[in-house]
Structure 1
Amino acid sequence: MINSTQVSYFILVAYFDTGALKYLYFMIVMSLYMLIVGANLLLIVVICLNRSLHEPMYLFLCSLFVNELYGSTGLFPFLLLQILSDIHTVSAPFCYLQIFCVHFYGSVQFFTLGVMSYDRYLAICHPLQYHIRMTSSKVAILTAFIWLYSVLATVVMMSLSVPLQRCGNTIEKVYCDNYSIVKLACSDTTVSNIFGLVYIFTVIFGLVILILYTYMRILKVCFSGSKQTRQKAVSTCTPHLASLLSFAFGSFFEIVQGRFNMSRVPIMFRIFLSLYWLTCQPLFTPVLYGLNMSKIRIISKILYLGRRM
């Protein structure tokens, strides 16, 4: 039996020999990472430097962009090193650190998208009371709660999974995640499983109910309101809804891949599914909001022209 104190490294078996193509993959991943960093940083700077954007919606967006920078940085540099390496192993402490980064990112992302749906509900269904209900102090409290609660939940999750005794050190993915190391356990995982179920049925299920409720109310207003109201709802909710569905799609397939046997699925497709929710969200969210929000487009263009002059 190999216990957790004896496991000094983990082997990532989802990597395969690509020969000279590894340099092409390296350039593709590097380009994606630079695009993610550039796009998210640009929008963070635009929102922070312009007082006209210091509104609840944009402040939540800024928190979302910061989290996407953090999440992609917890993954992409590691991927780049592994692509060039011939030995795909990772030390146990670094693996645990990456697990913390990945799950903390997912928690903040989901909570922020949930709070943003409530913000859109107030703006569309209660426009006259919006600035009374969603004040700057309330935005700060909600944002602080999201980040602090996510830290606490991730720490509790890891405090239950890291000490488990393990009978192996092979992870069938291209990065470390919590369920992969829990599956290696040969000791009792009851407490860890109970925590996961409680978290899903209280926090995640509660957020899903909140999101469904807010969009049902928004749709009701759209169908019964004027054409101008419908246009406003569509323009403000489309980027958020697209981002939410993309994240939900990626999270669903990540859960399915972890819980069920996917050996019959081509390895490249499995790798794509495992990376989708960590890469597509930070890549597409800045594009969705940057293209659909006129204030951000105009101010970004002014900053770009100012730098050229």
Structure 2
Amino acid sequence: MAFTSNVTTFTLSGLNVTKGNKYFFFSLVLLAYLTMLFFNLCLAITILQVRTLHEPMYVFLCNLSINGVYGTSGFYPKFLLDIISDSGYTHDISYSGCLLQVFVIYSSVMCDFSTLTVMAYDRTVAICQPLKYHSIMTTQAVIHMLTFCWLYPLFCSVLMVALTSVLPLCGSQIDKLYCDNWSVVRLSCVPTTLHNVIGFIVILSFMAHALFIVYSYKKLITACIHSKEGKVKFMQTCVPHLVTLIHFAMSVLFDTMYSRYGSRGASSVRNFMSLELLIIPPLFNPIIYGLNLTELRRRILKPCKRHAVKNTENRRKN
């Protein structure tokens, strides 16, 4: 087979289940996207505006919400256009657009994991070393952690995309709803040993993140289980983080299963497996934290209560 290094567009062929129901799917996806944007922006704006919420835990949560908006912007606008278009089963994306989508989605997912890792560290210090908390979690320390949460994922994503961009390709068909790095790499006409090694190193680094989170929760559970106050703290601040971690792990598992076994099974199941990573974390993270953290819930609902009181007063006057 002759090498083809001049691929200018990729064909995404995962939208066949939407044929004949495109307006229903468009409405459903648009509603999900707007809901994600609303909850994440609402949470982020509330934390940024209220000075009493400028604590490390809330700052990291704000970062999680901002990252949710960033990550979804790399997929949903293009996906919505594909659904509503009349292209049939397949949809095209430019070569540069595909690599940009890979960069945004990968960096967002890795930023999510890094943020969850520093949040686990923050909760460990807060509960296991409460007297030293403010001396450890200083403003400078928080800035360094946030910098790490963004720079390391961006570096990994740039490295992977840069390596992928120089590969000669022998095809342009991607059997997925969006571009991912592995789907592009396996179209290569040449061996991809270096890409596999780099990918393995990146996976190992995030496995280290996971081990640190497990170690942190072991310490947290040990510290909280012996007192009623500790159990209350764990339920209020650690359970939302734990639920988020479980959602994230499930999302990564679904996406990994799709990447490895994407050619098997019903297309609707495969499409859900590929999208779960882009639906569950950004949609449920702000809801879980917003409902469970008392101070945050009170601040978010305060304008709604004020508006309800004004309406009640206006009705009484009339």
The alignment partner of 1:90 has SS state of: strand
CA-CA distance at 1:132 after TM superposition: 1.0
The alignment partner of 1:175 has SS state of: coil
Pair 252,239 (structure 1): closer, same or farther in 2 beyond 3 Å: same
Q: What residue is the counterpart of 1:131 in the other structure?
A: 134
The alignment partner of 1:184 has SS state of: coil
**C-alpha distance after superposition, 1:150-180 (max 9, x if no partner):** 2111111111112111111000100001010
Quick one: which amino acid aligns to residue 256 of structure 1?
A: M
Correspondences of 1:172-187 after superposition (within 5 Å): 172-187=175-190
Correspondences of 1:1-309 after superposition (within 5 Å): 1-4=2-5, 6-16=6-16, 18-87=18-87, 88-201=91-204, 203-223=205-225, 225-259=226-260, 261-306=261-306, 309=310
CA-CA distance at 1:188 after TM superposition: 2.0
CA-CA distance at 1:307 after TM superposition: 5.2
Check whether the contact 1:3–1:164 (CA below 8 A) recurs between aligned residues.
no
The alignment partner of 2:10 has SS state of: strand
CA-CA distance at 1:49 after TM superposition: 0.7
Counterparts of 1:137 and 1:306, CA distance in 2: 36
Counterparts of 1:185 and 1:293, CA distance in 2: 48
Q: What residue is the counterpart of 2:315 in the other structure?
A: none
Counterparts of 1:43 and 1:268, CA distance in 2: 32
The alignment partner of 1:263 has SS state of: coil
Quick one: which amino acid aligns to residue 142 of structure 2?
A: V
Check whether the contact 2:169–2:187 (CA below 8 A) recurs between aligned residues.
yes
Counterparts of 1:177 and 1:167, CA distance in 2: 17
Unaligned runs of 5+ in 2: 311-318
The alignment partner of 2:123 has SS state of: helix
**C-alpha distance after superposition, 1:46-98 (max 9, x if no partner):** 10111110000000000100000011111111110111123311111111110
Quick one: which amino acid aligns to residue 235 of structure 1?
A: Q
Pair 151,263 (structure 1): closer, same or farther in 2 beyond 3 Å: closer
Counterparts of 2:17 and 2:232, CA distance in 1: 51
Q: Percent identity?
A: 38
Counterparts of 2:164 and 2:264, CA distance in 1: 28
Counterparts of 1:2 and 1:104, CA distance in 2: 30
Counterparts of 1:66 and 1:126, CA distance in 2: 29
Pair 122,17 (structure 1): closer, same or farther in 2 beyond 3 Å: closer
Counterparts of 2:282 and 2:66, CA distance in 1: 10
Task: Give the superposed CA RMSD.
Answer: 1.3
Counterparts of 1:2 and 1:303, CA distance in 2: 61
Check whether the contact 1:96–1:176 (CA below 8 A) recurs between aligned residues.
yes
Pair 227,46 (structure 1): closer, same or farther in 2 beyond 3 Å: same
Quick one: which amino acid aligns to residue 61 of structure 2?
A: L
Structure with larger Rg: 2
Aligned length: 305
Counterparts of 2:193 and 2:158, CA distance in 1: 18
**C-alpha distance after superposition, 1:97-135 (max 9, x if no partner):** 101110010110010001111111111111111111111
